[in-house]
Structure 1
């Protein structure tokens, strides 16, 4: 089972109903429990409005848990994800945010960086879901790559996705030195081709070791900075869902300013994003 318990933070915003429909679909797809979270002061009137909105999506009574909690929105959601043992949190996100909002951090961006579970960010939540036809997965050969790839495969199988791409980004630290020392761009290009062939071989071995026999997995090797190249490739090739491993640590302000690793992806989402947190992770 890809995910056992799904969480969704709901508000009275314009896209709340669309997110409820999305949560309903994923709950049915994964045969999972559904926890709906509202952060704010409780009142009978507001509770009735929320319940009505939930009923209008066709989510049956008794198939979900509705939780109210007062306090800071981000901290409360993160706390409930832990206490309720949610393993997939669904949220909506704007494709772009302005400078101020990005560096202060929106609720969605905070959840992406700090959630104790996997996070699915939908850039265009819809009452009627367009199918995910192309799922792209980042592979960096770290300990998180295998669980991310397996989870992406599970999701793609359940969604009957037609295309599954494993993307590997790599850099050659010695390349610039080679060009500077020898002045030969041809030699540098040859080094790059050799390295790219090695990366392709490693990717093919990685796929074989996953033992995925009933899916047509395509591999892509890109030269460049992690996060930048894959995000651009996914955007240019019209990916529907980009799957990445959860960041290893909470980034500091300087990481956001200088765009380390996944910060570029977090700022400019190429499409909907699934951030996979390994099971039993701290």
Structure 2
């Protein structure tokens, strides 16, 4: 694993009421990860805009924040995606939208298009803040997939850099794996035994992955393995919400086809209602 997965971070910059909070979140992460920060503004360049951005980020001078402002006109989705590729951005930060009168967050249409098409990792923020809110608990998917080892390793890296103490690895298991109709004590016992065997199998698979991660990332961490029987994407999102996780870390989908859009992908469940900040790793 690259011990520095995020060498460069990008964020789309709109001169909106959330500007300062978004910039502070992006700048803090750039400092924590030792990354260069690219501020991408869809629009004409101007000295006033440059000065405004520089003034907001002035307090990060002492942290030696390295940032560059990119001005580009055009369609917001195309501008952000093309700039991310040109500047070799590893992590793109996008904001979520709060539903009117509800404490629920979802991904707006522009951010959703970017999330589906980006070739880099994506961080979706639900409540950007000028003051840092400590990240204490990270939930990460442990599903059986070629990308999962990298995802879990990256989650431990993020936990170390953000000083999070607790990591929960959620193994989402399809209910069909049990496939026993429970209608009496005997069938209940059989279903329970099958579930226990699956949990043991999944836990040993995850422990094997953790054993490959450098000790400097795993020490002083509370690690919990959580098997959940249910619908992929929905189960982990619900778990992240009820366990009050500060960050949910997920694999990026392998490919987004026409059928994935018709039948929601596990990531699509998360985008429809964000349980917390979500990091989707490529």
Interval of TM-score (by shorter of Structure 1 and Structure 2) = 0.7 to 0.9
Judge conservation of contact 1:137–1:166 (CA < 8 Å) in 2: yes
Paired residues for 1:45-194 under 5 Å: 47-58=47-58, 59-60=60-61, 63-94=66-97, 106-173=109-176, 175-176=178-179, 178-179=180-181, 184-194=187-197
1:29 aligns with 2:32: yes
> Bigger shift: 221-230 or 198-207?
198-207
Deviation digits for residues 232-278 of structure 1, max 9, x if unmatched?
111000000000111111243x534532222101111110011111x
Query: Partner residue of 2:263?
Result: 258
Query: 2:198 aligned with 1:195, yes or no?
Result: yes
Aligned CA distance change for structure 1 residues 110 and 80 (closer, same or farther; 3 Å): same
Task: Go from structure 1 to structure 2 and tell me whether the alpha carbon gap of 1:89 and 1:21 turns closer, same or farther (over 3 Å shift).
Answer: same
Q: Is the aligned partner of 1:224 residue 2:219? A: no
Aligned to 1:246: 252
Name the SS of the counterpart of 2:92 in structure 1. Answer: strand
1:267 maps to 272
Partner of 1:234: 240
Deviation at 1:217, TM superposition (A): 2.1
Task: Calculate the aligned-residue CA RMSD, in Å.
Answer: 2.6
Structure 1: runs of 5+ lacking an equivalent: 278-282
Distance apart, 1:62 and its partner CA: 8.7
- Contact 1:95–1:268 (CA<8 Å) still a contact in 2? no
| Contact 1:138–1:244, Cα closer than 8 Å, also in 2 | yes
Number of residues of Structure 1 aligned to a counterpart in Structure 2: 268
In 2, Cα distance between the equivalents of 1:231 and 1:84?
Answer: 32
Give the alignment's TM-score, normalised by structure 1: 0.86
CA contact (8 A) 2:6 2:90 kept: yes
Structure-2 separation of matches of 1:2 and 1:262: 21
CA distance in 1, matches of 2:34, 2:65: 14
User: Which residue matches 1:280?
Assistant: none
Equivalent position of 1:207 in the other structure: 210
